[in-house]
Amino acid sequence: MGYIPIKGGKAAIEAAEELVDYFRLRGGSNPIEVKQIQDQMRLAVDRVMGEGSLYAPFHAALALKQAEGDTIEASFLLRAYRSTLPRIGYSLVADTREMVVIRRISAAFKDIPGGQILGPTRDYSLRLLNFCLAQEDSTYVKEFLKKFTPEVLKARTDLMEEVPSFPKVVDILRAEGLLETPNSIEEPKKIIDITRQPLTFPAPRAARLQAMARGETGGLMALAYSSMRGYGNIHPTLGELRVGYVPLRIKHRTRPDEVVTVGEILVTEAEIISQMMNADDGFPRFTLGYGLCFGHNEIKAISMAVLDRTMRSNSKETPAPAEDEEFVLYHIDGIEASGFTAHWKLPHYVTFQSVLDRLRKTQKPGIKDENQQ
């Protein structure tokens, strides 16, 4: 693919960058503070953190401001920033049974240990524009928080005293021998890091989950949706969906036997139950799909869990798109996809002129393109 330089390009590029700032500020309104984006655009911030593969709410909010709300571009900025940071170690495996839950539901069972916790959700509201938000001001915010915050803190304290930790819903099925065990899924002992090692196929499940955890929400949803609609053989039931904070622990740098809790991160976890399959012992059991991502992003976690299950399908026929791990993992990264799509905006003058010259020659009498022979 050939490119040619353009005279005067530097000045044009600099002017184009200035125009970006002009179009962002031309309305004359007060600049949006990064803290405002972080607080009030939390779902967009969480999405950028997940796809940018870096848990950093302030930096994700800053990227959203710089990208003027373009989540793909903001994720690109965040992942680029991530590449400049030193890696000081690896966290220990987190047990989501320790999660401080703010939302927990199950579509498989009505009554679950600890109860269903709706938490913050729009699932049960009408999709109508709320014009009151156009008149929202700081006075209303202060009055609302003054009234509502004590109720939230009291409810959280009561819940933690009553149910300090929540057992997994899928453990109910596993205890009855109705669900596959983790040991039934063959995996290498050493987990690869896809940010340090190239992805090869067939990919271990850990690598697939890593790739999906930083995948683009829309891409994951589209492929999972194709399986739900019948392009495949996976019809999921949501065993459990959790949103909450899990502790982040590492080994002490100078005392390796000591474990240190350095903070907590907000995650969304989904476990889907799929159709029965015969296990090694000959007994049919349900199979499980798993998804977990940074922040509050339920569509992504559910889609990830569905695709985790579809890519383990043993269909003897031609696999559906969602069952082909190479197809899935190569097309869910929004940053790679947007980069390749955007590269068509670069000059392709040389290659197009070559094709154009060949087309003109083939249209002349007595000349036939060798590709048409």
Digit-coded pLDDT (tens) for 223-234: 999 998 888 877
Query: Is there a contact between 214 and 83 (Cβ–Cβ < 8 Å)?
Result: no
Taking residues 138-150, what's their average pLDDT? 85
pLDDT over threshold 80, residue 50: yes
| pLDDT bucket at 64, cuts 50 / 70 / 90 | very high
Average pLDDT over residues 133-162: 79
Query: Residue 255 above 50 pLDDT?
Result: yes
When pLDDT is cut at 50, 70 and 90, the band that residue 175 belongs to is confident
Q: Which pTM does this prediction carry?
A: 0.88
> Is residue 4's pLDDT more than 70?
no
Q: What percent of the chain has pLDDT over 70?
A: 89
What is the model's pLDDT at position 281? 64
